[in-house]
Amino acid sequence: MSPVLDVRDLTKTYGEGEATVHALRGVSLTVERGDYVAIMGSSGSGKSTLMNILGALDVPTSGTYRLDGVDVSRLADRQLALARNRLIGFIFQAFNLIPRTSALANVELPLAYAGIKPRQRRRRALAALDVVGLAERARHEPNQLSGGQQQRVAVARALVTEPALLLADEPTGNLDTRSTEDVLTVFDQLNAAGRTIVIITHEPEVGARAKRLIRLVDGQIVHDVRQAPVFA
């Protein structure tokens, strides 16, 4: 089976001439199915640039990127969008739930886009909410939920389509310690169930929970290490 992510010699350059910024300088990275990877680095190290490319939201200046065996660096916009919807579940720092819309309807939305029929949509969305421990809150709207609960709804929305990869950008950046722990526990459980997770984070205690820690400095990977499990 092909790796979930297979990235070779990625570079990304912004601007030109005097103003050229080399945001990524030759990043190579393979992530196998079932891994749990944290990417850390200081501000300006290239995390968002890498995240956008891994998430098929942007294309590299050079290098290749295979997502679940598909060479996405060669895809045109429309195909890129299709690959993204099919293969990646995104989790954002700011949750990005639709306001005044129930948790259930939020989680159903990606299935609606995928053309799944209402009854099956409902069943799968409820199952995903159950996985994150929020089945009883299915009818609540985002403003009736705590930050940690909202982020868990966002995790349910990300996993309901059964993507090859869960990709999270600073998922605990807006959460207090208690809610951070709740979300990290959900990630632990999802990974134990076989889900592949890549998260970008500033927080060392969040990075410590992953199985593998990658550190970016000035657009290059300087550390890539396996970590012993942490039992919180």
Q: Which of ligand ADP, Mg ion, none binds 44 (CB below 5-8 Å, type-dependent)?
A: ligand ADP
Angle at 27 between CA 23 and CA 31, to 5 degrees: 130
Cβ atoms within 10 Å of 155's Cβ, excluding its own: 26
Contacting range for ligand ADP; rule: CB under 6 A; set: 44-52, 80-88, 115-123, 174-182: 44-52
Q: How far apart are CA 56 and CA 81, in angstroms?
A: 8
When the beta carbons of 181 and 218 are compared against ligand ADP, the nearer one is 218
**Cα distances (Å, whole numbers) of residue 33 to 104, 127, 169, 201:** 28, 22, 19, 21
Q: What are phi and psi of 192, to 5 degrees?
A: -60, -30
Give the nearest distance from C-beta 47 to Mg ion in angstroms: 5
Q: Which of residues 31-70 bind Mg ion (CB under 5 A)?
A: 47-48
The strand ranges marked E within 156-211 are 165-169, 197-200
Q: Cβ closer to ligand ADP: 41 or 110?
A: 41
Pick 149 or 201: Cβ nearer ligand ADP? 201
Q: Which listed range, 13-21, 61-69, 80-88, 178-186, lies at the site for ligand ADP (CB under 6 A)?
A: 13-21
What does the DSSP 8-state code read for residue 88?
E
**Rounded distance between C-alpha atoms, residue 13 and residue 198, angstroms:** 23
Instruction: Pick the stretch among 46-54, 127-135, 140-148, 160-168 that binds ligand ADP (CB under 6 A).
Output: 46-54
Q: Is 41 in the site for ligand ADP (CB under 6 A)?
A: yes
When asked if residue 46 is in the footprint of ligand ADP (CB under 6 A), the reply is yes
Q: How far is the CB of 38 from ligand ADP (least distance, A)?
A: 14
User: Pick from 26, 90, 82: which is nearest to 54 by CA?
Assistant: 90
45 makes contact with ligand ADP (CB under 6 A): yes
Reading the block at residue 173, the tokens are 């950046």
Report the partner that residue 217 touches, choosing among Mg ion, ligand ADP, none (CB closer than 5 to 8 A by kind): none
13 scored as a contact of Mg ion (CB under 5 A): no
CB of 51 to ligand ADP, least distance (A): 7
Sheet holding 165-169: strands in order across?
A: 88-91, 165-169, 197-200, 36-40, 212-217, 220-226
Can residue 20 be called a binding residue for ligand ADP (CB under 6 A)? no
Residue ranges in contact with Mg ion by CB under 5 A:
47-48
Residue ranges in contact with ligand ADP by CB under 6 A:
14-15, 21, 23, 41, 43-49
